[in-house]
Amino acid sequence: MKTRKVAIVPPEEFSKLKYRQAPESSVGLPAVTSAMKHISEEIGLIDGLKVLNKMNQHGGFDCPGCAWPDPDKERSALGEYCENGAKAIAEEATKKRVDADFFKSHSVEEISHWDDYHVGKSGRITEPFYLAKDSSHYVPISWEEAFTKIGSKLQSLENPNQAAFYTSGRTSNEAAFMYQLLAREYGTNNLPDCSNMCHESSGTGLSKTLGIGKGSVTLEDIHQSELVVVIGQNPGTNHPRMLAALEKCKQNGGSIVSVNPIHEAGTNVFIDPQNPLKILKGGTKLEDLYLQVKINGDVALLKAALLLMLKAEEDRPDTVFDHEFIERKCDNYQALIQHLHEADFGTCVTESGLTDTEVRKFADLLIAKKKIIFCWAMGLTQHENGVQNVQEIVNILLLKGSIGKPGAGTCPVRGHSNVQGDRTMGIWEKPKEAFLAKLDEEFKINSPRAHGFDTVETIRAMHEGQVKVFIGMGGNFISATPDSQFTGEAIQKCDLTVQISTKLNRSHLVTGEEAIILPCLSRSEKDFQNGKPQFITTENSMGVVQKSEGSFEPASPYLKSEPAIVAGLAKTSLSNTQTDWNRMISNYDHIRYHITAVIPGFEDYNKKVRIKGGFYLPNGARNGEFNTESQKALFTINPLPKNTIDPNHFVLMTIRSHDQFNTTIYGMHDRYRGIHNERRVLLMNPKDMQKHGFEKEQVVHLTGHYGKETREARNFKVIQYDIAKGCLGAYFPETNVLVPIDHVAKESNTPASKFIEVSVNS
Ligand X SMILES: Nc1nc2c(c(=O)[nH]1)N[C@H]1C(S)=C(S)[C@@H](COP(=O)(O)OP(=O)(O)OC[C@H]3O[C@@H](n4cnc5c(=O)[nH]c(N)nc54)[C@H](O)[C@@H]3O)O[C@H]1N2
* Interacting residues toward ligand X by CB under 6 A: 65-66, 84, 168-170, 194, 197-198, 231-234, 237-239, 259-262, 264, 293, 295-296, 298, 377-379, 382, 415-416, 473-477, 480, 500-503, 505, 520, 522-523, 562, 653-656, 660-664, 732, 735-736, 739, 753-754
Provide, rounded to whole angstroms, the least separation between the CB of residue 232 and ligand X: 4
Q: What is the largest CA-CA distance in the chain?
A: 76
Provide, rounded to whole angstroms, the least separation between the CB of residue 118 and ligand X: 13
Provide, rounded to whole angstroms, the least separation between the CB of residue 713 and ligand X: 11
**Coil, helix or strand for 703?**
strand
Please, are residues 659 and 30 in contact by the beta-carbon 8 Å criterion?
no
Q: Of these partners, ligand X, Mo ion, none, which one is at the site of residue 52 (CB under 5 to 8 Å by kind)?
A: none
Q: Of these partners, ligand X, Mo ion, none, which one is at the site of residue 476 (CB under 5 to 8 Å by kind)?
A: ligand X
Provide, rounded to whole angstroms, the least separation between the CB of residue 338 and ligand X: 27
> Considering only CA atoms, which of 519, 517, 458 is closest in space to residue 493?
458
Question: Residue 261 or residue 726: which is nearer to ligand X going by CB?
Answer: 261
Residues 399-458 within binding reach of Mo ion (CB under 5 A): 415
Question: Residue 162 or residue 735: which is nearer to ligand X going by CB?
Answer: 735
Question: Residue 268 or residue 663: which is nearer to Mo ion going by CB?
Answer: 663
Q: How far apart are CA 545 and CA 539, in angstroms?
A: 4
Helices within 211-286 (DSSP H only): 219-224, 235-238, 241-251, 265-268, 276-281
Q: Is the peptide bond before 686 cis (omega within 30 degrees of 0)?
A: no
Provide, rounded to whole angstroms, the least separation between the CB of residue 67 and Mo ion: 9
- The H or E element spanning position 257 is strand 255-259
Question: Residue 198 or residue 265: which is nearer to Mo ion going by CB?
Answer: 198
Contacts of 113 (CB under 8 A, 6+ apart): 7, 11
Please, are residues 696 and 716 in contact by the beta-carbon 8 Å criterion?
no
Please, are residues 439 and 445 in contact by the beta-carbon 8 Å criterion?
yes
Positive or negative, the CA dihedral 653, 10, 191, 604 is: positive
Q: Work out which of 88, 198, 243, 326 binds Mo ion, going by CB under 5 A.
A: 198
Q: How far apart are CA 460 and CA 117, in angstroms?
A: 28
Question: Residue 196 or residue 492: which is nearer to ligand X going by CB?
Answer: 196
CA dihedral of residues 135, 137, 140, 146 (deg, nearest 10): 40
How many Cβ atoms sit within 10 Å of the Cβ of residue 603? 12
Which range binds Mo ion by CB under 5 A, 192-200, 625-633, 743-751, 754-762?
192-200
Q: How far apart are CA 167 and CA 656, in angstroms?
A: 21
Q: Return the residue nearest ligand X (CB atom).
A: 415
Q: Of these partners, Mo ion, ligand X, none, which one is at the site of residue 638 (CB under 5 to 8 Å by kind)?
A: none
Q: Of these partners, Mo ion, ligand X, none, which one is at the site of residue 225 (CB under 5 to 8 Å by kind)?
A: none
Question: Residue 185 or residue 525: which is nearer to ligand X going by CB?
Answer: 525
235 binds Mo ion (CB under 5 A): no
Residues 244-303 within binding reach of Mo ion (CB under 5 A): none
Q: Of these partners, Mo ion, ligand X, none, which one is at the site of residue 84 (CB under 5 to 8 Å by kind)?
A: ligand X
Q: How far apart are CA 413 and CA 224, in angstroms?
A: 18
Provide, rounded to whole angstroms, the least separation between the CB of residue 736 and Mo ion: 14
Rg of the chain on CA atoms, in Å: 25
Q: Is 82 exposed, middle or buried (0-12, 13-18, 19+ CB in 10 A)?
A: buried
Provide, rounded to whole angstroms, the least separation between the CB of residue 676 and Mo ion: 25
Question: Residue 62 or residue 247: which is nearer to ligand X going by CB?
Answer: 62
Provide, rounded to whole angstroms, the least separation between the CB of residue 378 and Mo ion: 7
Provide, rounded to whole angstroms, the least separation between the CB of residue 169 and Mo ion: 7
478-491 as b/e, with b when 16 or more CB fall inside 10 Å? bbbbbbbebbbebb
Provide, rounded to whole angstroms, the least separation between the CB of residue 195 and ligand X: 7
Q: How far apart are CA 281 and CA 572, in angstroms?
A: 62
Question: Residue 225 or residue 522: which is nearer to ligand X going by CB?
Answer: 522
Question: Residue 91 or residue 322: which is nearer to ligand X going by CB?
Answer: 91
How many Cβ atoms sit within 10 Å of the Cβ of residue 523? 27
* Beta strands 756-761 and 699-706, pairing class: antiparallel
Question: Residue 198 or residue 723: which is nearer to Mo ion going by CB?
Answer: 198
Residues of this chain that interact with Mo ion (CB under 5 A) are: 198, 415
